[in-house]
Amino acid sequence: MPHAFDIAVIGATGSVGETLVQLLEELDFPVGELHLLASLESAGSSVAFRGRNVRVREVENFDFAQVQLAFFAAGPEVSRRLADKALAAQCSVIDLSGGLEQAPVVVPEVNGARLAQVTRPALVASPSTATISLAVALAPLRELLDIERIQLTACLAVSAQGREAVTELARQTAELLNARPLEPRFFDRQMAFNLLAQVGPSDDQGHGLLERRLVDELRAVLDAPTLKVGVTCIQVPVFFGDSYSVTVQSRRPVDLAAVNAALDAGESLERVEGDDYPTPVGDAVGQDVVYVGRVRQGIDDAEQLNLWLTTDNLRKGAALNAVQIARLLIKDQL
């Protein structure tokens, strides 16, 4: 019988936290005692796990010495406030918030070997959905392409911003379809049947914080500190599933047959061939791979490669990557 680990999930009532709990059960992760933690407002609710309802408790006074591993999925402020407390109690931390800059960023299919350099108790960052998707797709191509620049348009589902955002999109859609006046609440303007050119707050140069995070994380995961990355994140009226239009500029002509063969052999990738293409609703949602389609050279540039990617932003793009990191950590018994 495998050794069991006592685990805490911080942010257990959020979309990512609930998906984490679901995957821990679905993948038969060796969980001993599961502690579900959230804010005071969410404490007292319960989440189903292995045939029973686990009560959610308030996180602030939790004794992290009770667990060997904690998933932080409650936002950067919570991670900055409590991660050091967990580490001091000899509890390893996997952070999904992007709030701990000192944590090495890991996508197991790409740079999982990085975990061998991490001391225990471990502090590891699981990156944003966009970083995971792009890294998984580009990793098989690094030997083929001398990548000079990446240009990305990230079409992000509202579920990344939590259940309230999903509810808001549903409410706005119903109001508009029933010819009722629209009053935006969660978003600052109409989200239904619309595109928003910015996701979350931006810095004084106009770049979104998520855009900055993506650039930093992608360079770290690909071990390419000087890689040039241009990115625009847009909010699209989709409940679940992120999609990406990607342009890769190589320093050498793109061999399309070799690119397709490398993508076909890539881990956690599924290529859609021919004139077909993947979509979040029809393909990605509920699946644990990154779908890639519309693989083509530039119209007038043989050194340009264009790709279309889509993935389940809550499963593959968040929770599953964190669970994969945890599996690698427990190989060494944390």
If pLDDT is split at 50, 70 and 90, which confidence band does 63 have?
very high
- Centre a 10 Å sphere on the Cβ of residue 119 and count the other Cβ atoms it contains: 6
Token representation of residue 309:
């990617």
Instruction: Give CA–CA dist 290/300, Å, rounded.
Output: 28
How many helices (H) and strands (E) are present in the chain, helices listed first? 8, 13
Cα 94 to chain centroid distance, Å, stands at 13
Q: How far is CA 214 from CA 82, 218, 220, 221, 234, in A?
A: 24, 6, 10, 10, 13
Domains and CATH numbers, the chain: 5-103 (3.40.50.720), 132-313 (3.30.360.10)
Does residue 315 register a pLDDT over 60?
A: yes
Give the pLDDT confidence of 100-133 residue by residue, as tens digits.
989 999 999 999 999 998 998 999 999 999 999 9
pLDDT tens figures, 255-284: 999 999 999 999 999 999 988 999 999 899
**Predicted confidence (pLDDT) at residue 300 exceeds the cutoff of 80:** yes
pLDDT band (50, 70, 90) for residue 334: low
Residue where the block lists tokens 């993935």: 311
154, 214 Cβ separation under 8 angstroms: yes
* Mean local confidence (pLDDT), 239-257: 96
Torsion of CA 141, 101, 328, 69, to 10 degrees: -160
Q: What is the pLDDT of residue 143?
A: 86
- Where are the alpha helices (H) located in the chain, listed in sequence order? 15-26, 76-88, 108-111, 129-138, 163-177, 209-221, 256-265, 320-331
Q: Are residues 188 and 104 in contact, defined by beta-carbon separation less than 8 angstroms?
A: no
**Tokens coding 92:** 């390893």
Rounded-to-integer distance, Cα 95 and Cα 224, Å: 22
